[in-house]
Amino acid sequence: MPRHHDGAAAADDDRALSDRRLRVALLAGGRSSEHDISLASARSVLETLDPARYDVVGVAIGRDGRWALQSGDGDAGVLSTGTEASRAETLPVPAEAGTLAALGRVDVVLPILHGPFGEDGTVQGLLELMDVPYVGAGVAASALAMDKDLFKKVMRDSGIAVARHHTLRPGDAVENPLGYPVFVKPARLGSSVGISRVTDESELAAAVALARRHDEKVLVEELVSGMEVECGVLGNRTPPPVASLPGRIDTLGHEWYDYASKYDEAGMELVIPPELPQETIELVQQRAVDAFVAGECEGMARVDFFVRDDGEVVVNELNTIPGFTATSVYAKLFAASGIGYAELLDRLIQLALERHERRAHLEF
């Protein structure tokens, strides 16, 4: 049977939506180490969404995985104060009418969740099950982008250059066939948590042990020398997605772009556009779109690159829910490209609705 209503009903729904404010459920927090970053992003989104166009419902996910409906009119609750998600007003799973199931009565969900249990397809799967439009990549694309091992394999199979890597799974001997220096990192974590720069074999075991505190699967990855560049992508499958101007990451006093430099206001400078030939800038933009399409992403992504001294563009990773404050890299890249923060949010919400409607005829 069709997953949604018929075409006539869909048209009626579209007219109804155009006559009222969109009800947006904003998901924030989560179980990952990026909990606080998610809350900061969500507060910024909450402050920016136009109240004349959107009726925003905040849902905070605690570090224990509990969902709490946030009260207040924008000046109260976890999303505006930054306090940790409370156990008060917890929404049970499975839900009864009026609790978590109420998310099915919103027009669109905006998940601002970073890392595992939010950016990896888990929440996206729940929203698909509930048949709710949501911003960002789908289940498979989210899971793929989160797993750096699988992501690199798909990129390589698509003809997109990536760094050489070796994967360590549970039970594997700790070894590095790539030479030194290398980075050792959890395969499925973000924000450079659990990453070590390893310069010789004496440091390898400790680095792997640190990474295994966060994930059973660990990557040993070659160190790529070159300029660190990031590029935003916006769009669905049709029309083709667009890339922002890229920006160069200057880590200032930090040896490499680690957790401290990412979230220290004085630890990183973004230079837009980077000091590269125009043809290289255009190649970065094309590779960003290529990676987005190869990973079957939709909505948004930030693609991170290394540009070698010889001009080769190497994809490092793709983030399906990048940091999303007005001063985050993704927002800055599009602001420099002529799309401001508020307009960016409007477009992402519209893309979510368009994708949901596009898939309305599918039968399962």
Query: Per-residue pLDDT tens for 300-315?
Result: 999 999 999 999 999 9
Instruction: Kindly state whether residue 148 falls inside one of the protein's structural domains.
Output: yes
Same domain, 43 and 131: yes
The Cα 61–Cα 30 span in angstroms is: 5
Instruction: Kindly state whether residue 204 falls inside one of the protein's structural domains.
Output: yes
CATH code for the domain in which residue 192 is found: 3.30.1490.20
Same domain, 118 and 202: no
Instruction: Kindly state whether residue 327 falls inside one of the protein's structural domains.
Output: no
Instruction: Kindly state whether residue 181 falls inside one of the protein's structural domains.
Output: yes
Same domain, 90 and 230: no
- Decide if pLDDT at 73 tops 50: no
Instruction: Kindly state whether residue 357 falls inside one of the protein's structural domains.
Output: no
Same domain, 114 and 247: no
Using pLDDT thresholds of 50, 70 and 90, give the confidence band for residue 91: very low
Q: Which residues pair with 250 in a beta bridge?
A: 269
Same domain, 218 and 182: yes
Query: Per-residue pLDDT tens for 198-216?
Result: 999 999 999 999 999 999 9
What pLDDT is recorded for position 33?
82
The Cα 224–Cα 321 span in angstroms is: 24
Contact between residue 221 and residue 183 where contact means Cβ atoms under 8 Å apart: yes
Better-predicted residue by pLDDT, 98 or 258: 258
Same domain, 180 and 231: no
Query: Per-residue pLDDT tens for 121-178?
Result: 999 999 998 888 999 999 999 999 999 999 999 999 999 999 999 999 999 999 999 9
CATH code for the domain in which residue 100 is found: 3.40.50.20
Same domain, 185 and 275: no
Query: Which of 22, 28, 119 has the alpha carbon at shortest distance from 352?
Result: 22
Same domain, 272 and 237: yes
CATH code for the domain in which residue 250 is found: 3.30.470.20
Helix (H, G, I), strand (E, B) or coil at 98: coil
Using pLDDT thresholds of 50, 70 and 90, give the confidence band for residue 270: very high
Read off the tokens for 53: 């166009």
Same domain, 282 and 308: yes
Domain hosting residue 306, numbered range: 144-161+225-320
Instruction: Kindly state whether residue 23 falls inside one of the protein's structural domains.
Output: yes
Instruction: Kindly state whether residue 150 falls inside one of the protein's structural domains.
Output: yes
* Sign of the torsion formed by the C-alpha atoms of 271, 228, 160 and 334: negative
* Sign of the torsion formed by the C-alpha atoms of 204, 208, 211 and 217: positive
Read off the tokens for 17: 């939506």
Q: Identify the helix (H) or strand (E) that includes residue 209.
A: helix 204-212
Number of domains in the chain: 3
- Decide if pLDDT at 340 tops 50: yes
Same domain, 153 and 180: no
Same domain, 67 and 203: no
Instruction: Kindly state whether residue 362 falls inside one of the protein's structural domains.
Output: no
Same domain, 196 and 237: no
Q: Identify the helix (H) or strand (E) that includes residue 110.
A: strand 108-111
